[in-house]
Amino acid sequence: MTPIKNCILNKDTTKNPIWLMRQAGRYLPEFREIRKSNQDFIKLCLNENLSSEITLQPIKRFGFDAAIIFSDILMLPYAINQEVKFEKGFGPKLGDLNIDKIKQTNEVNFTNKLNPVYKAISLTSKNHLLQNRDLIGFVGAPWTILVYMLNKMSPKKGLPKKFFNDTLLINNLLDIIETFLKLHIKNQITAGANVIQIFDSWAGLLENKIPDYIYKPTLNIVEYVKKLGVPVICFPRGIKDYKKFCEIVKPDAINIDYEVDPIKIIKEIKIPVQGGLDPKVLLTSKENLRKEVEKYLTTFKDHPYIFNLGHGILPETKIDLVKELIDIVRNFK
């Protein structure tokens, strides 16, 4: 059985598999090289050969235990007819929300639009490098997709207070998003993804509406993935109560962010855990890296634990420290 699946399904504690969120990205010179001549990010995600090549770059260089398909959570709004652009130095910019246009999406045109993503998964899964490795497919959680669709940019750039008021619109959109997220997951699994991760990067924005906007829609997706027989990892970044999230949503594994104390997590959570390390640690020194990494490895020594970060790897990360990180994890006893 592949390393991630073995850790999650067999609850194996003898090894800590390792992969990193955003491992196929800007800290890699070979990624930046491809990006230079491919300015349109969406088009790049829809180039099956380049997407597969980028997915395999960190596997070739570091030998991680899993590949994550090079794509983006915002391919979903794109495929349901909301414009999505990525601007240098600004991040994603979405077009005006037009419910009528969104409602024109059907299963066939959705799948056709994202077909290159599925082809990239299929190509990658057949590559010899993936023989004993997992291929992770992913989606954004309904709430995080909704945030981008309504806010039309990252909440880091501002989020108006009125955002949470239109509950009718929010509920309507969450339903549509859920339908197409399920289809996107099914298509990724059919193409060869053998683990699914759900990124809820903006879970931490909510206080009162967590049951309606996070637990319920995410539970629907998690149950759907389980029915397809594939393990599902959730990452509700910034959520205050990971224990409650796990009890209600019941993912097969939970990714934690770097704000939460791993010692609290090990006491509270019984399912396999992934991640936690602050990506900024990869900007410091080998000594500090060892200290911080061993903190996680020691805490989760007798628990099924997949090594990963508490958020995506930063573009300024030094390659040498990534190599060192893998060494530390693989040689830890």
Residues within window 31-60 making contact with ligand CP3, judged by CB under 6 A: 35, 41
Smaller CB separation from ligand CP3, 56 or 293: 56
24 binds ligand CP3 (CB under 6 A): yes
With beta carbons less than 8 A apart as the criterion, state whether 146 and 170 touch: yes
Smaller CB separation from ligand CP3, 52 or 299: 52
One character per residue 236-275, x = contact with ligand CP3 (rule: CB under 6 A): ----------------------------------------
* Alpha-carbon gap, residue 168 to 160, rounded angstroms: 18
State the sign of the Cα–Cα–Cα–Cα dihedral 301, 307, 312, 316: positive
**Burial (0-12, 13-18, 19+ Cβ within 10 Å), 165:** exposed
22 binds ligand CP3 (CB under 6 A): yes
* Alpha-carbon gap, residue 272 to 308, rounded angstroms: 13
Binding span for ligand CP3 by CB under 6 A among 69-77, 115-123, 160-168, 269-277: 69-77
* Alpha-carbon gap, residue 183 to 189, rounded angstroms: 10
User: At 187, is the secondary structure helix, strand, or coil?
Assistant: helix
177 binds ligand CP3 (CB under 6 A): no
- Give the shortest CB-237-to-ligand CP3 separation in angstroms: 6
With beta carbons less than 8 A apart as the criterion, state whether 256 and 275 touch: yes
Of the candidate residues 78, 199, 215, 307, the single one contacting ligand CP3 (CB under 6 A): 199
* Alpha-carbon gap, residue 242 to 235, rounded angstroms: 10
Binding span for ligand CP3 by CB under 6 A among 18-26, 96-104, 179-187, 316-324: 18-26
With beta carbons less than 8 A apart as the criterion, state whether 311 and 274 touch: no
Residues within window 274-333 making contact with ligand CP3, judged by CB under 6 A: 312
Smaller CB separation from ligand CP3, 149 or 299: 149
Residues forming the site for ligand CP3 (CB under 6 A) = 21-26, 35, 41, 68, 70-74, 86, 91-92, 138, 154, 199, 201, 312
